[in-house]
Amino acid sequence: MSTAFSLRWPRWLVVYVLALGLVAGPAYTMYVHYDYSHSLDTRSYLSLARGEFEGVNITRRYRVLVPAVAAVAAWPLEQAYARIWPQRAASEWPLRLAFYVVNCLLMAGVGLLLFRTCLLYGAAPAAAALAVAAVLVSRWAVYMAGLPLVDSLYMLVFALAFYGVRSHSGPAVAVALLLGFQAKESFVFLVPWLLLYGRAALKWPAQLAWLLAGAAGALALRSWIDARLGVPATASVHNALAHIENLVYSLRRLLSVKGLGEIFSIFGFFSLVLLAGLRSAASRRQWLPALGWPAGWLILIVAIHMLLSGDLGRMGYLAAPVAAVALARLLTFDPWLSWLSGTKDLSPHE
């Protein structure tokens, strides 16, 4: 182990644990009190974790990585349940708890990556910590961490991609390319962005190799599931094309009062900080130029996800890496906000 790593890893561990604490507390309430009967998504992923593919919607049928890990984690939890709550051991509670644990760990990883990305964009550590906290207390972070869903893995892919491009980290870009299609099929929209902006981290031949490995694994898994169910492979293509029909619905919703409220609710009142950062040309110079074209194009990719899915809020949360960096820059350099992170010295009489 290198000296540099031995000096750094305790700091990153502290950040990871703090991020885990921010997510796990609110998500626990979601895990315990959510009415699962109203959510087809959660019931689908619980079925996948049990190895039951029949009847699962084709959109979610192939996203098995998080359910598989949750199924493995559920076994020791079942043993604990059998001793503490015997009446619950044979129910879905151990599996739900396993999803909660796995998703919280993944979302904490997202928090750590966002913190490191904020530092790379020139933010002060305190400002980066505040920005990550603002992002992780979003209702969507609580939703993704507390319920049997797979969005946490896709969030990790976006965080790895944004971090890898900024830090020129080849491993981060490679892992994003390897896991992308396993997380969600819509990763196809992020691939061109990674190929373009990830070149400094990983040259095209290496990027294509990792991309092909990830795509081959996803296709092999799809073929196995399709063969098991006896369904044609073309059904996935038809389902993907059917998402285009969501465009009109999403645009109408976006232009409505309810849709605007849904957009605002992604980051809640922390969105007001970003609005404050637009108040003048001098304020905008504190963060917009620093984000640059990679962040701008990533926001466009998030917008495509939002329009095709029809779920504006949940897909809009994919912009968390850009939002965290923007908040961290504002908290570091904006005269109105820098005092919050201790980057502006205040006299006792100020």
Q: Select the highest-mean-pLDDT range: 170-174, 230-234, 284-288.
A: 170-174
- List all residues 6 or more positions away from 97 whose beta carbon is below 8 Å from its beta carbon: 31, 74, 77
pLDDT band at 235 (very low <50, low <70, confident <90, very high): low
Cβ pair 154, 184 in contact under 8 A: yes
Of 249, 242, 257, 255, the C-alpha closest to 311 is: 249
Q: What angle do CA 136, 198, 270 make, to 5 degrees?
A: 20
What is the domain range of residue 41? 8-337
Amino acid identity of residue 187, one-letter, is F
**Residue 90: what pLDDT?**
57
Name the one residue in this structure whose structure tokens are 């999803």.
99
The answer to the question of residue 185 being in a domain is: yes
The answer to the question of residue 254 being in a domain is: yes
The answer to the question of residue 348 being in a domain is: no
The answer to the question of residue 292 being in a domain is: yes
pLDDT band at 4 (very low <50, low <70, confident <90, very high): very low
User: What are the CB-based long-range contacts (under 8 Å, 24+) for 196-203?
Assistant: 197/165, 197/294, 197/297, 198/161, 198/164, 198/165, 198/173, 200/165, 200/168, 201/164, 201/165, 201/167, 201/168, 201/169, 201/170, 201/172, 201/173, 202/164, 202/170, 202/173, 202/174
> pLDDT tens for residues 133-179?
999 999 999 999 999 999 999 999 999 999 999 999 999 999 999 99
What is the average pLDDT across 116-121? 96
pLDDT greater than 50 at residue 274: yes
The answer to the question of residue 350 being in a domain is: no
Least confident of 53-57, 98-102, 119-123: 53-57
Tokens of 256: 């409505």
The answer to the question of residue 343 being in a domain is: no
pLDDT greater than 90 at residue 252: no
> pLDDT tens for residues 188-212?
999 999 999 999 999 999 999 999 9
> pLDDT tens for residues 95-113?
999 999 999 999 999 999 9
The answer to the question of residue 51 being in a domain is: yes
Structural domains counted in the chain: 1
The answer to the question of residue 347 being in a domain is: no
3-state secondary structure of 310: coil
pLDDT band at 18 (very low <50, low <70, confident <90, very high): very high
**Residue 241: what pLDDT?**
58
The chain-wide mean pLDDT, for the chain, equals 88
Q: At what angle do helices 151-167 and 93-120 cross, to 10 degrees?
A: 20
- List all residues 6 or more positions away from 248 whose beta carbon is below 8 Å from its beta carbon: none
State the alpha helices, DSSP H only, in 137-280: 139-146, 151-167, 170-183, 191-197, 204-229, 234-242, 246-254, 257-264, 271-276
pLDDT greater than 90 at residue 346: no
Q: How many CA atoms lie within 13 A of 15 on its CB side?
A: 23
Of 333, 22, 317, the C-alpha closest to 159 is: 317
